[in-house]
Amino acid sequence: MTDNDSAAAADENLDVSNLPGGAKAAVEAVLMVLDQPATATELAAGLNLTVAVVERLLAELQREYNGYTVKAPDMDVASDAGFSASPRGFELRNIAGGWRIYSRTDFADIVGRFVLEGQTARLTQAALETLAVIAYRQPVSRARVSAIRGVNVDSVVRTLTQRGLVEDAGTDPESGAVLYRTTSYFLERMGIGSVAELPQLSPHLPGLEGIEEFYDAGRM
């Protein structure tokens, strides 16, 4: 794909403009999967572009999504004076300096209806168990919770985060994995003042260290 075979620091050498769709598509690719808003500076650093270029691309994408401009096939550059197309179902917003793609506000009713469908007010057993593990072993990574529960917990952790019961507690300095902890909303729902007030578990349960060894041995 790229001819960075001679790249000493392969990372630094990547030229996004050689990729299909160019730098603009690269910015788009990142924005599309990014959970947290990113600043132009953060984007520029990861993309090997200058902040000025990223800012121009962001503005271009924003206009494109809003339907004000479309890159015509026979033009080399997008033009503001270009023809107008329909707006997309999503928009690029800059909130407090961070950029993120959201669903377009016009569709809030439809999206809201879609989101609510099939939502229950109760946590599933899987979600409860995962919450219990996080509560007693926090701060803990998803991989560790998976190891303890024996199943993949990614989507359950997302649900718990969405429900405001658990939150990001920084990253593990060693593995770089995101760690999770329970929130004050969780304490509120439990009716306790702090995690220290959670009932003690029976002492025969292996500590986190024990579990770690036990399960890591099985990891391939």
Partner 1 sequence: MAESKPGFEVRLANFTGPFDLLLGLIAKHQLDITEVAIATVTDEFIKYIRKLQKLGEDWALDEASEFLVIAATLLDLKAARLLPAGEVEDDEDIALLEARDLLFARLLQYKAFKQVAGLIGETLEQESRRFPRQVALEEHFAAMLPELVWKHTPGQFAKLAEAALEPKAPKPTEVGLGHLHGSAVSVKEQAEILGLRLQLGNPLSFRALIADAESTLVVVARFLALLEMFRDKVVAFDQLSPLGDLTVHWTADGQDWSTENLSEEYEEQP
Residues 132-191 that bind partner 1 (CB under 8 A): 132-133, 135-137, 141-143, 146-150, 152, 154, 158, 161-165, 168, 172, 175-178, 188-191
**16 interacts with, out of partner 1, its own copies, none, CB within 5 to 8 A per kind:** its own copies
What residue 200 binds from partner 1, its own copies, none (CB within 5 to 8 A, per partner kind)?
partner 1
Q: Which amino acid, one-letter code, is at 74? A: D
Determine the Cα–Cα distance for residues 164 and 41; give it in Å rounded to an integer.
Answer: 29
Outline where DSSP puts E strands in 96-193: 98-103, 140-141, 166-171, 178-182
- Residues 68, 62: Cα–Cα separation, whole Å: 9
Between 168 and 197, CB nearer to its own copies: 168
Nearer to partner 1, 39 or 161 (CB): 161
Q: Out of 100, 138, 169, 181, which residue is the one contacting partner 1 (CB under 8 A)?
A: 100
Query: With binding defined as CB under 8 A, does residue 88 bind partner 1?
Result: no
For partner 1, which is the closer residue by CB, 68 or 136?
136
Query: Which residue, 159 or 203, has its beta carbon nearer to its own copies?
Result: 159
Per the document, the length of the chain is: 220
CA distances from 28 to 21, 47, 115, 132 (A): 10, 11, 24, 38
Roughly how many angstroms between the first and final C-alpha of the chain, as a whole number? 30
CB of 32 to partner 1, least distance (A): 5
